[in-house]
Structure 1
Amino acid sequence: MASGSRKKLEGNGMWESSRMMLPEHKTALNVWDRERLKRTRIHLDEQEWEDISRAVSESMKRREAIKIKMYHEFEELEVNGIVDKVDQMKGRFMVDGEWFEIMDIEGAELEH
């Protein structure tokens, strides 16, 4: 085997010597990279849910601003405003005219 061809095969030589990547490989790398950045959903205990429920209730009754930390797969989201409605049957709540899922709540505090 010639010295030049051996170098291509050493380590990651095949990839290093080739600037070409198949579309399937590029897609797989993009999927892997995106999955790697995914956030995991936190699980709240009963006391945390009671605190959240109290804060949401107070916001609605007293028309007080609230800051609600929400779950999202790839970013940290926060809903800020006043709770207008809570729909227990559909598992959602409304802040400033927009509906959000109750199950996505990770924390809540009134803004005093």
Structure 2
Amino acid sequence: MDELKGRGAKTWRKSMILPEHQDAINAWYASQEDVNKPILTSDRVAEINQAIQLLHYKQSLVKISYYHERRIVDVSGRIYQVDSLQQHIVLSKDTFEKVCISLRSITDIIEV
């Protein structure tokens, strides 16, 4: 009996919530981190495209921020391939892993 007294409400918190309610609470907490896709001006899109071409030519290490599944994701590596027809780039990470990113989802690119 002394064990329960020492922990108070913590003992009963999880056991008093239905699993369906717990799933709804977890989904609500996860949705609080959602962001809307940023709207880029045509000038900013042109700057990003120019930076992609220059950094691909220089084979510099870059950090790309892009919109994916209601989040802004940052990834670093070297631009391996630019496919204008398919509208995507392939980034080669330091672990030799390749990441395919849609040109339309890129929100920022900087040289590291």
Per the normalisation by structure 2, the TM-score is 0.70
Q: Work out whether 1:56 is the aligned partner of 2:56.
A: no
Q: Work out whether 1:86 is the aligned partner of 2:82.
A: yes
Counterpart code for 2:63: K
Q: How far did 1:48 drift? A: 0.7
2:66 is matched with 70
The count of residues paired between Structure 1 and Structure 2 equals 94
2:100 is matched with 99
1:36 is matched with 32
Q: Is the 8 A contact 1:67 1:81 kept in 2?
A: yes
Structure 2 residue runs without a partner (length 5+): 1-14, 93-97
Counterpart code for 1:39: V
Please say which structure displays the higher CA radius of gyration.
1
Counterpart code for 1:48: R
Instruction: Give the Cα separation in 2 of the matches to 1:25 and 1:40.
Output: 26
Equivalent residue for 1:27, pick from 9, 17, 23 = 23
Greater fraction of residues in strand: 2
Instruction: Give the Cα separation in 1 of the matches to 2:105 and 2:39.
Output: 10
Structure 1 residue runs without a partner (length 5+): 1-18
Q: Is the 8 A contact 1:39 1:75 kept in 2?
A: yes
Runs of 4+ residues deviating >4 angstroms: 73-76
Instruction: Give the Cα separation in 2 of the matches to 1:34 and 1:69.
Output: 20
Q: Is the 8 A contact 1:55 1:66 kept in 2?
A: no
Instruction: Give the Cα separation in 2 of the matches to 1:27 and 1:63.
Output: 45
Q: RMSD between aligned alpha carbons?
A: 2.2
Per the normalisation by structure 1, the TM-score is 0.70
